[in-house]
Amino acid sequence: MAMSLEDKAAYQLRKLTLDDVPDYRRLRLEALRLHPGFFMRSYEQECTLSPEDWELRITDGDRCTFGLFFEKELVGITAIIAEGEKGYLTQTYLRAEHRGRHLSRWFYEARIAWARERGLSFLEVAHRASNIVSGAANQHYGFCFSYAVPQQWPDGGAEEMLYYRLEL
C-alpha cells in the first residue's frame, strides 16, 4: 500500500529515551503476547523484568532501541545490540494496522546507520524458518543466509532458526 506524503509525515522514527520506557514496555509485551512464536523470549519472561531492566534497554551504550511513532503514539519498535565487531538486530515489531506501508525500511536503515557509526564489521539477524515475511525483508536489505540451528520456541514449537549476515 503506497503512502501519501501526508501519511509519511505522520510517522517519526527515533531513538527511544527514558521517557518512552512505559510505552516501550507496553508495546514489547503486546508483541510477545500476540506473537509468541516470533520472539526468543516469552511474554512471561519479559513480565518479570524490573523497571531498571527496561531502562537499561534504552540506556545501555552497546544497544540502540528505536521507536516508530504515528503522530505521538508508539506503534513500532526495533533494536540493535553491538557485541565486539558484530551487531544483532532484534525485537522488531510493528502494530498490524501499520504494516504493509514499507515502514520496516526505516527500521533497517536506522539500525544499519547506527552500526556503521559504531564501526561494526557486520550485522546478524535471525528468524523462525516459517516466518517468510521476515526472511524476505532480511534478504531485501542485503542480508545473506548464513546458517540454521534447531530451536525450541516460547510457543512450544520446534523449528529451525535461520541466521542471516550483512557485511558492512
Pick from 97, 90, 99, 159: nearest CA to 130: 159
Residue 62 half-sphere exposure toward CB, CA atoms < 13 A = 8
Cell representation of residue 137: 525483508
Residues 96-121, mean pLDDT to the nearest whole number: 96
Mean pLDDT for 52-61 is 96
pLDDT tens profile 140-158: 999 999 999 999 998 899 9
Residue 161 has pLDDT above 60, yes or no: yes
Residue ranges of domains in the chain = 5-120
> What's the chain's average pLDDT?
94
d(CA 166, CA 146): 10
Asked if residues 75 and 103 have their Cβ atoms less than 8 Å apart, the reply is no
> For position 151, what pLDDT does the model report?
94
pLDDT at 66 over 70: yes
Q: Categorize the per-residue pLDDT at 6 as very low, low, confident or very high, splitting at 50, 70 and 90.
A: low
Mean of the pLDDT values across residues 64-68?
98
Fold of 5-120: Aminopeptidase (3.40.630)
